[in-house]
């Protein structure tokens, strides 16, 4: 697999550069840039800084997903389910962590809080039509392929 270079800026020297857990990991782990432990109460959200900004290439997007271990063990996941970092954004990357558990959860400085996947996207021009092409599925909605 071809590896690309992505320019990254540390907004704080203590910030941790994202890392991949394994050679074939699609997502790079993002780390909390905190001075001290952070408590997130049940049903509350906190915007956790990473201390980093990115120069995502044009035609790509950074998608922020939950870390499965954080979601299953602590009930913490991005509040918006998938965060979108556009190629023209140069501000600090932050993760909106939501506590969906029934207990207060703690995030420690430099703890892995989410993962980011870089993927190409298709930009389209929308064209209003009276009809669309037919498919085997047609208008079958949720559960129609069971």
Q: Model confidence over 98-139: pLDDT tens digits? A: 999 999 999 999 999 999 999 999 999 999 999 999 988 888
Summarize pLDDT for 77-104 with one digit per residue, the tens: 999 999 999 999 999 999 999 999 999 9
pLDDT, one tens digit per residue, over 32-52 is 999 999 999 999 999 999 999
The DSSP bridge pattern shows strands 94-99 and 45-49 to be antiparallel
pLDDT at 44: 97
What are the tokens at 42?
Answer: 């049940």
pLDDT exceeds cutoff 90 at 144? no
User: Residue 106 and residue 135: Cα distance in Å, rounded?
Assistant: 49
Would you state the structure tokens that stand for residue 52, as one six-digit string? 């980093």
Q: Indicate if the pLDDT at residue 142 is higher than 80.
A: no
CATH H-level superfamily of 7-120: Deoxyuridine triphosphatase (dUTPase) (2.70.40.10)
pLDDT-derived band at 146 (thresholds 50, 70, 90) equals: low
What 3-state class would DSSP assign to 74? helix
Q: What is the CA radius of gyration of the chain?
A: 19
Q: Specify whether the CB–CB gap between 55 and 127 falls below 8 A.
A: no
* Helix or strand holding residue 76 (H, E): strand 76-78
pLDDT at 145 over 90: no
3-state secondary structure of 68: helix
Give the Cβ contact number of residue 87 at 10 Å.
16
């Amino acid at each position: 697999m071809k590896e690309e270079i992505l320019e990254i800026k540390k907004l704080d020297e203590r910030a941790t550069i994202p890392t991949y857990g394994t050679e074939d990991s699609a997502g790079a782990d993002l780390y909390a840039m905190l001075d001290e432990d952070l408590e997130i109460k049940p049903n509350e959200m906190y915007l956790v800084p990473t201390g980093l900004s990115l120069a995502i290439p044009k035609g790509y997007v950074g998608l922020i997903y939950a870390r499965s271990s954080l979601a299953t063990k602590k009930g913490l996941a991005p509040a918006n389910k998938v965060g979108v970092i556009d190629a023209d954004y140069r501000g600090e990357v932050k993760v909106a962590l939501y506590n969906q558990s029934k207990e207060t959860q703690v995030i420690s400085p430099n703890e892995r809080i989410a993962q980011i996947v870089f993927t190409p996207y298709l930009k389209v021009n929308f064209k209003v039509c009276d009809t669309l092409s037919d498919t085997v599925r047609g208008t079958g909605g949720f559960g129609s392929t069971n």
